[in-house]
């Protein structure tokens, strides 16, 4: 038996810590300006477990509580290996959560509910369960004291749920060089689900399309430019051209993406008015999810071009499918319908993990050893920061042990047995990477 194999997952300690973390979740919700998380409320429970095992108190762990904004700290913990032995790091276990409305849950989202193997509460899957898991991993390292070649580094981060704010979490840690040592080996981003490696994510660009027409009585449609119809036809044309220009990429099959790149509407709004009144404007919002094999900025530029073309010839959209009197130009009035496209600021890039790295190969071996197989998957959901980490020179791989079906959902849940297996995967991962480095 190797020294690492002596590490055992303590279910009681894990559940106790997770209960404390979920109990803080009301104050960890990230939706500013209304809800600004105070990650130090979760950090204090992690430090309560790890500080007695720190070098300052005679243990092996090196601990840093790093804050750039008051109350919103990050934790870096290291279990030292041998000089020149490299680093294996676990980053991404974030201490903030998405919002939860108690009125739409069947139980209190801010109190851990334990029902046999099922653990329920805000943050169990995303991502307080991983905070508790990573804490238990380092507690066990400190207690069993295995002799390892690589240093093991863990980073509990702030502000993962709101990538539009910078200078708080992992972006600032990287900027200040506090994670530079992680470039000496694989960086495992611990923030996905379903107990398999996630090897690809999508980029995102959210958009708003406003159609400007002419308000008029609905009994005289030939005197109006109907912005609702214009908006619908414009989105249909955007989609038609988008799927021509950004058809399924050959690499998407290799990475197992569930979908190709997509452009779709998700919200609709228009000014209030009488039902017998054609409004003067209508707005559709949506997003583009872009696989990492296309450049998001190039996609945005193409979509802007679609809208420019439609603005130049709006009546080209009116092809009779909406009846003979729906038109987007009124020549007698020298009036044309107009489209206005806005791209929101939270543009993000997708990531395709390096499938040839020692870190990925160790990941496959660890999952196969513990679970019997390894089935990597990819989705066009977005994970903020990880493409930036990859571009900064980190070998980013991603994994997680919550449930994808519960991600950001009402009645969020995960399973204790999954986190226990996750612990075993992380232990096997350290062993496999140590063997790869020694080879």
Show which residues are catalytic: 96, 160
d(CA 218, CA 211): 17
Q: Comparing C-alpha atoms, which of 24, 16, 11 is closest to residue 418? A: 11
d(CA 223, CA 324): 13
DSSP assignment of 84-153, as one string? TS-EEEEEEEES-B----GGGSSS-TTS-EEETTEEESTTTTTTHHHHHHHHHHHHHHHHH----SSEEE
Structure-token match 């108190």, residue found: 57
Asked whether 129 and 402 are in contact (CB, 8 A), the reply is yes
Q: Which helix (H) or strand (E) element contains residue 274?
A: none
Phi-psi region of 353 (alpha: psi -120 to 50; beta: other; left: phi over 0): beta
Given 3-state DSSP classes, what are the helix, strand and coil percentages for the chain, each rounded to the nearest 5? 40, 25, 40
């Amino acid at each position: 038996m190797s020294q690492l194999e002596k590490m055992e997952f303590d279910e009681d300690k894990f559940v106790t810590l997770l209960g404390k973390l979920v109990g803080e979740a009301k104050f960890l919700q990230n939706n500013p300006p209304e809800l600004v998380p105070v990650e130090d409320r979760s950090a204090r429970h992690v430090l309560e477990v790890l500080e007695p095992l720190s070098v300052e108190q005679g243990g092996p762990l090196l601990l840093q509580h790093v804050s750039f904004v008051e109350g919103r700290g990050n934790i870096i913990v290291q279990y030292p290996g041998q000089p020149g032995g490299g680093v294996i790091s676990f980053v991404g276990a974030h201490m903030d959560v998405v919002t939860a409305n108690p009125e739409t849950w069947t139980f209190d989202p801010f109190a851990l509910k334990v029902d046999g193997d099922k653990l329920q509460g805000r943050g169990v899957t995303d991502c307080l369960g991983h905070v508790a898991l990573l804490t238990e991993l380092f507690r066990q390292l400190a207690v069993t004291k295995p002799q390892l070649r690589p240093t093991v580094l863990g980073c509990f981060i702030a502000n993962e749920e709101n990538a539009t704010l910078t200078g708080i979490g992992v972006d600032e840690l990287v900027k200040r060089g506090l994670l530079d040592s992680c470039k000496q080996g694989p960086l495992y981003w611990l923030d996905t689900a379903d107990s398999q490696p996630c090897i690809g994510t999508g980029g995102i660009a959210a958009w708003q399309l406003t159609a400007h027409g002419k308000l008029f009585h609905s009994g005289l449609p030939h005197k109006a430019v109907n912005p609702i119809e214009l908006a619908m036809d414009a989105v249909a044309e955007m989609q038609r051209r988008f799927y021509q220009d950004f058809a399924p990429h050959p690499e998407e099959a290799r990475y197992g993406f569930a979908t190709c790149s997509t452009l779709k509407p998700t919200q609709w709004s228009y000014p209030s008015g009488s039902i017998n009144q054609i409004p003067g404007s209508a707005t559709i919002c949506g997003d583009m999810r872009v696989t990492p094999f296309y450049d998001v900025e190039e996609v945005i530029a193409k979509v802007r071009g679609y809208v420019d073309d439609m603005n130049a010839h709006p009546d080209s959209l009116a092809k009779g499918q909406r009846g003979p009197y729906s038109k987007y130009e009124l020549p007698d009035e020298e009036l044309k319908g107009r489209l206005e496209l806005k791209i929101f600021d939270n543009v993000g890039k997708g990531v395709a993990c390096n499938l040839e790295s020692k870190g990925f190969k160790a990941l496959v071996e660890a999952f196969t050893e513990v679970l019997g197989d390894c089935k990597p998957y990819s989705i066009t959901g977005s994970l903020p920061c990880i493409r930036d980490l990859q571009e900064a020179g980190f070998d980013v791989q991603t994994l997680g042990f919550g449930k994808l079906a519960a991600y950001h959902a009402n009645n969020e849940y995960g399973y204790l047995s999954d986190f226990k297996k996750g612990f075993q995967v992380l232990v096997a991962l350290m062993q496999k990477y140590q063997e790869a480095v020694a080879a």
